[in-house]
Structure 1
Amino acid sequence: MAVQVITIEDLNEFRNLLLNDLKEIIQSKPQQTKQWLKSKEVRKLLNISPGTLQNLRINGTLTYTKVGGIIYYDNSDIEKLLNGNKVNAAPTLFK
């Protein structure tokens, strides 16, 4: 029976190959986003309070669907809201 010696360099090479393979798998996998979000998820996403979310509903800024007492928000509507309120940063002058 032949004995194989594994060196530290062999282990480092294996580690690098494994890490590269994992990175490729993660990057190639399309990220799935949920179409419908509950209030808690929207508040967390936008970092807003329940009252602010209610105001966005009341004034028509953010559309919603209510089913059985649970309010759902369309993810694409949230993206439209964010994109519609983009502010271009003013250029800064450095001397």
Structure 2
Amino acid sequence: MATIEFITKEDLDQFKQELFSELRRPGQRLHKISEQKEWLKSYEVRKLLSISPGTLQGLRDTGKLKFNKVGGLMFYKYDDVIALVEGKKIIPKP
């Protein structure tokens, strides 16, 4: 005979806390490298870095974050965004 296990509200709260603590760890990436897109749109970069549109504009203006403009959209290489977060200097290509 199979036993029935109930999930309580406390169980769900504990699971939520454990999940959030894992996601908040420094350097934690939500995607595996093979699943990560090579190019990100502006809104994706802002969400990833938790920054405002003005801050992103400042990173572009100062050359701290390289970008490519296609039509009216700005695209950023994922590797460049990670390098910025990790504090690595990005050397622009001539």
| Matched residues, number | 61
CA distance in 2, matches of 1:7, 1:50: 55
- Secondary structure of the equivalent of 1:55? helix
Higher helix share: 1
RMSD (Å) for aligned C-alpha atoms: 1.8
Which structure 2 residues correspond to residues 26-65 of structure 1 after superposition, within 5 A? 31=32, 32-65=35-68
CA distance in 1, matches of 2:37, 2:47: 14
- Flag structure 1 segments of 5+ consecutive residues without an equivalent: 1-5, 13-29, 86-95
1:81 equivalent to 2:81? Answer: no
> What percentage of aligned pairs have identical amino acids?
49
TM-score, reference length from structure 1: 0.58
- Secondary structure of the equivalent of 2:74? strand
Instruction: Compare CA radii of gyration and give the structure with the larger one.
Output: 1
CA distance in 1, matches of 2:58, 2:87: 18
Runs of 4+ in structure 1 deviating by more than 6 angstroms, as ranges, are none
CA distance in 2, matches of 1:77, 1:51: 19
TM-score, reference length from structure 2: 0.59
- Flag structure 2 segments of 5+ consecutive residues without an equivalent: 6-30, 89-94
1:68 equivalent to 2:39? Answer: no
